């Protein structure tokens, strides 16, 4: 397995283009199973999780053609459902979280789906009840085989129904939408997640002939259709990567231009970094993060300590809190980082503390950061990437630190960030990938 070796303390400069969004890609690529017609998808990120999902589709018999320029064509006109019972499927599908979104399309088009407990980050309990709540309310039968941790879902027919989700689950909502578009009658989904990933999925499905209203809101109305046709779709830039680059620029006191960020789809992300005192300049659809010697965290109007917390969209995505936390370590002022959704995503702060950051982990969900305001640089150290976002947060810490750090378990980072070492080298980072 490879590790990153990082010589910190260098200023970076230049421009960087964000990849297509990982979490959108996983939904959009699953949706190709809904039609026998050709679907062409552009701006596909070349990352481990997405490549694995495409591999699973190919194993099912989907014809995948690389059209160049990050664009691929998918034709799902001859699907081998026996693959669901193979050991290879169990093994591959269990290795990423996004594979669970194959269930909705399989159920809707072929009347059955199976799935091992999905993988993804180990960041606390990640229940999938919401997915099955929706399928069952539409008339599907669910079974779970505890010995093999294998879910099965079948339905002769799916019927439109009013669904009030227990929680606004991102992948759960995507799954239910993909089942409902081919169900008989009208489905409504209340408390639906509405992240840009889902907005994009709904737009794509509508261009395939689906009838979805309420896009961007948490109340979706879906009138089922008999079948869907092909379409062309282009992924949005990855908002989590954009946030990671903002953090990187601030921590390394660098000026970086982030190309084509799609400002209108970033929600509260820019404002959240601005609360930490980080300046962001809009130049057309580019974002410039100017060089800043110091950035000061705002306090609330009554003078109390700033809190930054996650929430379902249009709130702040939990996937950026690790990066926001690391950026706060060199800010002026204090902030409480409250990770409400996941209970094991903040433990990486121990590493930051080793590096000299002033952080108090109050409980598994909350950490208080007392910014160093550059009074001292972080110290280089050796660490392992516990999950995708903590991995990148530690990478940013290492790039700002004095000395040479190493990060192992970088598979975690590779599953969501395309060629991150090469792209960072291009803006001056001293980072190398070393086979262990």
Ligand X SMILES: C=C(OP(=O)(O)O)C(=O)O
What would the two tokens of residue 319 be? 């996937």
Asked if 65 and 76 touch (Cβ cutoff 8 Å), the reply is: no
Backbone angles phi, psi at 289, to 5 degrees: -105, 105
Cα–Cα distance, 317 to 323 (Å, whole number): 11
| 171 belongs to the binding site for ligand UD1 (CB under 6 A) | yes
Q: 172 touches which of ligand UD1, ligand X, none (CB within 5 to 8 A by kind)?
A: ligand UD1
Cα–Cα distance, 230 to 110 (Å, whole number): 18
Shortest distance (Å) from residue 95 CB to ligand X: 11
Shortest distance (Å) from residue 24 CB to ligand UD1: 8
- Site map for ligand UD1, 277-316, x if CB under 6 A? -----------------------------------x----
∠ CA(122), CA(108), CA(42), 5° rounding?
Answer: 65
Q: Which CB atom, from 71 or from 344, has the smaller least distance to ligand X?
A: 344
Q: 317 touches which of ligand X, ligand UD1, none (CB within 5 to 8 A by kind)?
A: ligand UD1
Strands of the sheet containing 186-190, edge to edge, are 162-164, 186-190, 219-223, 211-213
Using CA of residue 136, residue 141, residue 146, residue 151, what is the dihedral sign?
negative
| 342 belongs to the binding site for ligand UD1 (CB under 6 A) | yes
The question of whether 121 is a catalytic residue gets the answer: yes
Q: 371 touches which of ligand X, ligand UD1, none (CB within 5 to 8 A by kind)?
A: none
Judged by CB under 6 A, how many residues of this single chain contact ligand UD1? Answer: 20
Q: Which contiguous run of DSSP H or E holds residue 346?
A: none
Q: 16 touches which of ligand UD1, ligand X, none (CB within 5 to 8 A by kind)?
A: none
| 319 belongs to the binding site for ligand UD1 (CB under 6 A) | yes
What would the two tokens of residue 169 be? 């689950």
Asked if 38 and 77 touch (Cβ cutoff 8 Å), the reply is: no
DSSP code for 12 = -
Count how many Cα atoms sit within 13 Å of the Cα of residue 21 in the half-sphere of its side chain: 27
Cα–Cα distance, 375 to 429 (Å, whole number): 23
| 138 belongs to the binding site for ligand UD1 (CB under 6 A) | no
Q: 389 touches which of ligand UD1, ligand X, none (CB within 5 to 8 A by kind)?
A: ligand X
**List 122, 127, 282, 422, residue binding ligand UD1 (CB under 6 A):** 127
Shortest distance (Å) from residue 283 CB to ligand UD1: 29
Q: Which CB atom, from 44 or from 228, has the smaller least distance to ligand X?
A: 44
Supply the Cα-derived Rg of the chain in whole angstroms: 22
| 172 belongs to the binding site for ligand UD1 (CB under 6 A) | yes
| 178 belongs to the binding site for ligand UD1 (CB under 6 A) | no
Burial class for 284, CB neighbours closer than 10 Å (0-12, 13-18, 19+): exposed
Q: 416 touches which of ligand UD1, ligand X, none (CB within 5 to 8 A by kind)?
A: ligand X
| Chain residues in the site for ligand X (CB under 6 A) | 22-23, 49, 97-98, 120-121, 319, 388-389, 416
Residues in the site for ligand UD1, rule: CB under 6 A? 23, 26, 97-98, 125-127, 167-172, 193, 312, 317-319, 341-342
Catalytically annotated residues: 121
């Amino acid at each position: 397995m490879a590790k990153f070796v990082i010589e910190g303390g260098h200023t970076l400069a230049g421009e960087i283009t964000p990849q297509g969004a990982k979490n959108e890609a996983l939904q959009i690529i699953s949706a190709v199973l809904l039609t026998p017609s050709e679907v062409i998808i552009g701006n596909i990120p070349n990352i481990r999780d997405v490549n694995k999902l495409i591999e699973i589709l190919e194993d099912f018999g989907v014809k995948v053609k690389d059209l160049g320029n990050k664009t691929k064509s998918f034709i799902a006109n001859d699907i081998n459902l026996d693959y669901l019972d193979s050991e290879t499927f169990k093994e591959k599908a269990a290795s990423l979280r996004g594979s669970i979104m194959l269930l909705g399309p399989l159920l809707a088009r072929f009347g059955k789906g199976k799935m091992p407990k999905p993988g993804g980050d180990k960041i606390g309990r990640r229940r999938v009840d919401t997915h099955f709540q929706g399928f069952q309310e539409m008339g599907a039968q669910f079974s779970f085989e505890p010995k093999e941790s294998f879910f099965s879902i079948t339905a002769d027919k799916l019927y439109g129904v009013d669904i009030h989700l227990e929680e606004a689950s991102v992948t759960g909502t995507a799954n239910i939408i993909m089942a409902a578009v081919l169900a008989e009658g009208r489905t409504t989904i209340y408390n639906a997640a509405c992240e840009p990933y889902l907005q994009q999925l709904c737009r794509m499905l509508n261009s395939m002939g689906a009838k979805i209203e309420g896009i961007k809101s948490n109340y979706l109305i879906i009138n089922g259709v008999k079948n869907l046709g092909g379409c062309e779709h282009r992924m949005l830039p990855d908002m989590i990567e954009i946030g990671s680059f903002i953090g990187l620029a601030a921590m390394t006191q660098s000026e970086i231009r982030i190309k084509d960020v799609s400002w209108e789809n970033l929600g509260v992300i820019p404002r959240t970094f601005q609360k930490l005192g980080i300046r962001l300049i809009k130049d057309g659809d580019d974002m410039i993060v100017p060089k800043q010697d110091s950035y000061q965290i705002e306090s609330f109007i009554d003078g109390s300590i700033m809190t930054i917390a996650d929430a379902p969209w249009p709130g702040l995505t939990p996937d950026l809190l690790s990066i926001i936390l690391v950026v706060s370590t060199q800010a002026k002022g204090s902030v409480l980082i409250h990770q409400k959704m996941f209970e094991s995503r903040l433990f990486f702060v121990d590493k930051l503390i080793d590096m000299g950051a002033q952080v108090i982990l109050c409980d598994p969900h909350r950490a208080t950061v007392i910014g160093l305001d550059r009074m001292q640089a972080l110290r280089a150290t050796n660490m392992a990437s516990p999950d995708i976002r903590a991995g990148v947060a530690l990478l940013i810490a290492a790039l700002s630190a004095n000395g040479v750090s190493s990060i192992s378990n970088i598979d975690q980072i590779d599953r969501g960030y395309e060629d991150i070492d090469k792209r960072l080298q291009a803006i001056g980072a001293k980072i190398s990938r070393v086979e262990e």
